[in-house]
């Protein structure tokens, strides 16, 4: 989860919505794996969910006049072990 310290309500709402989407996607990937799906597929789905979350957070930052660089970089690093 990415902590949002912004006082901008639109930004907070966008971050919360993105986090909820991310959590749902991760939960779905893990449920599919528990139901007999591949761990490789689950890992790929989780990585994609994390990257999409970072992209949504970065877009929200830009839309609200905030620096998005750290979120863009986080999206690049997801799954790299960095």
Residues in the chain: 82
Closest CA to 15 of 82, 69, 64, 77: 64
Per-domain residue ranges for the chain? 9-77
Cβ-count burial 6-40 (b if 16+ within 10 Å, e if not): eebeebeebbeebbeebeebbeebeeebeeeeeee
pLDDT in tens, the chain (82 residues): 555 566 788 889 999 999 999 999 999 999 999 999 999 999 999 999 999 999 999 999 999 998 899 989 988 898 776 6
């Amino acid at each position: 989860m990415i902590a949002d310290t912004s006082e901008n309500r639109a930004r907070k709402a966008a971050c919360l919505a993105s986090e909820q989407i991310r959590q749902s996607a991760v939960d779905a990937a893990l449920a599919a794996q528990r139901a007999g799906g591949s761990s490789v597929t689950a890992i790929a789905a989780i990585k994609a969910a994390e990257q999409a979350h970072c992209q949504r957070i970065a877009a929200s930052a830009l839309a609200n006049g905030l620096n998005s660089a750290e979120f863009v970089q986080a999206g690049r690093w997801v799954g790299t072990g960095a």
